[in-house]
Chain A
Amino acid sequence: MKAVGGFLRKHDLAGILVLAAILLVVLPLMLDLFRLNLVGKYLTYAFVAVGLVLCWGYGGVLSLGQGVFFGLGGYCMAMFLKLEASDPASTKIQSTPGIPDFMDWNQLTALPWFWQPFHSFTFTLLAMLLIPGLLAFVIGIAMFKRRVGGVYFAIITQVIAAILTILIIGQQGYTGGVNGMTDLKTLHGWDIRSDSARYLLYFLCCALLIGGVFLARYVLGSKLGKLLLAMRDKEERVRFSGYDVAEFKVFVFTLAAMFSAVGGALFTLQVGFMSPSFVGIVPSIEMVIFTAVGGRASILGAIYGSLLVNWAKTFFSESFPQLWLLFMGGLFIAVVMFFPNGLAGVLEQHRVRIGEWWRKCAGRLRPTPAVPLQRENHS
């Protein structure tokens, strides 16, 4: 058994190394800066996908509102950048210089109180993590303690996504409305739109993502991870064993929210704006698609899933815009119907065969332990 464990651990580590090599070496060498920046954007969704693996794939809690946390993280970062972009000197043509342009257009004459602390970068970083985390915590406590779960929870998170979109669009003067926060230029005087900044932000994004993978693996490898899995498959049994199921759900939902928030903040930094179109129901459910395609129970699979689906989205919308929705819808139906464990599940099924092939190539002959595949059991 120890040998099997060692093999698996080594295998997973190898997977992370491959991912790191692809992200840090292969892609930067292969792609021009524009494409690399796009990959960076896709990777911000991968944060959400990793969070969803934790909370949906392992915890069995499907949230259709991850866009909320992605958006909150992104908006926190955007507020800081927007304040820096609207210093009195560059906004002197406004009737009130020194406030963001959309406030001026909406006849606001002073910076609202909740904008004030976003002058500080430290506060922004904290807020970016804590505001979404706190919101998820409150939602989690409210829902899971009352044993609201499954499809009901999914619908409620969707409603929360709808609420936040309506709020952002409705409160134009405070949030920039439909257009979102645009024209974000500098971070502490450092131009985030320059080529070198784009490279640096891409590598920062990769590094944080790989760090996130390690964190997620640590959580899943711990006793907590086992309990999450047990909870997903037989919630009642875990409850009768004396565990408070709700607390684990709250924890994993909050963690997933914070993952999404980091992704959102990096999105704002790399893309240079944030708008309600990344918050609402549709983007939230798309993020679930990325996870499902890659494999809801595989951290690395979810990352590849985000990359592939987003790449396909860009490809189709550039070349065959009318086919994109058909492709996406068809993909979703196919994945759910035929490959419930996504790409990672397909690989897992053929792992033994691939392993044999690999060993044949390497000229080594050692029997491989077959890994029994467990089909997901939702109830």
Chain B
Amino acid sequence: MEGVGVGEFGSILLMQGFNGLSVFSVLVLMALGLAIIFGQMGVINMAHGEFLTIGAYTTFVLSHLTTTYLPSAQPYYFLVAIIVAFVLGGLVGYAVEYLLIRHLYKRPLDSLLATWGLSLVMQQMFRSTFGAKEVSATLPDWLLGSWQPSGTVDIPLNGLFVMVITLLLTCLVALFMYRSRSGLRMRATTQNRVMAGAVGINTAQVDRMTFALGCGIAGVAGAAFTTIGSTGPTSGSLYIVDAFLTVVFGGAQSLLGTLASAFSIAQANSTLEFFITGSSAKVITLLAIIVILMIRPQGLFSSKVRK
């Protein structure tokens, strides 16, 4: 490192920090929906990654449609895609809850296995519909290129965009959970299902909406992912374990915990990656999480919940 000046070193630090933040946004996007479903309902949804893929493919289809039929709308299609991805993910989630999940609330391990089966089925459906090859959406021009605040710092715009979406989505979810009637009902159901039912909350309906909301958020995450990578039938499943770990590590019931854990995992991973190889960095990060979980099985932040 002899030849590297202070300014350059600062830039490297900045870029590395930015990389960490990128990974952080990806983890948060993935984990937000999961945190709602797992944290609020205790359901392990192994098909969560596939809901993400739904969002990604929706964006791809919309981008394809606009470039073919409505080229003038091309700069704006992405905003529509996010909304459509949310609605579509939510609708599929609603159906899945109705057909599958609600029969398995008493058996959490079984819901894990059934949703794994669901993810296999969905992957095959994607493969049959869109082919095994990865596809990517045509990005609007304003997402291409990079922002260069100084000569040595180079920050890609799409990464920045994903961060903005993450930030917005997190704020919206927090607002919904802690400031709206529906959020209140959701939290009441989590804390004490029987009591919530007794005061007139339709808990089955709340469950369905919660699950649909989580899946809708996964859809938005998928739409955001198309800006930084291509989409294949199994893209979603790549993230599922990391995402679960993020949620478990943060403490299942806590939104703040999910954010904190995503931040620490992402920063630890990308900082380590600077010093050792990528795979070793990943292994060390995962091992560290397991050890911490052993010491604090309830996760970093945990709220008291009646089982």
Chain A positions near chain B (C-beta within 8 angstroms):
62, 142-143, 146-148, 150-152, 154-156, 158-160, 162-163, 166-167, 169-170, 281, 285, 288-289, 292, 322-323, 325-326, 328-333, 336-337, 340, 376, 378-379
Contacts and interface: CB of A to CB of B under 8 A. Distances in A.
A281 B240 CA distance: 11
Interface centre among A62, A148, A155, A337 (most CB of B within 10 A): A155
A4 B286 CA distance: 51
Interface stretch (B119-127, B190-198, B199-207): B119-127
Given A163-B286, A163-B287, A154 B117 contact: no
Interface in B220-249: 241, 244-245, 248
A325 B109 contact: no
B283 interface: yes
A163 B283 contact: yes
B275 to A, nearest CB: 15
Contact of A155 (B119, B120, B248, B279): B248
B283 A333 contact: no
Interface in B273-294: 277-280, 282-283, 286-287, 289-290, 293-294
Interface of B: 42, 44, 100, 103-104, 106-110, 112-114, 116-125, 127-128, 241, 244-245, 248, 277-280, 282-283, 286-287, 289-290, 293-295, 297
Main SS at interface, chain A: helix
A158 B295 CA distance: 19
Contact of B294 (A143, A151, A328): A143
Main SS at interface, chain B: helix
Contacts of A340: 107, 110
Contact of A322 (B113, B118, B124, B295): B124
Contacts of A155: 44, 241, 244-245, 248
A62 B44 CA distance: 13
Nearest to A332: B117
Contacts of B287: 163
Contact of B293 (A148, A170, A376): A148
11 contacts: A151-B112, A152-B297, A154-B44, A155-B44, A155-B248, A170-B277, A328-B117, A329-B117, A332-B113, A332-B114, A378-B110
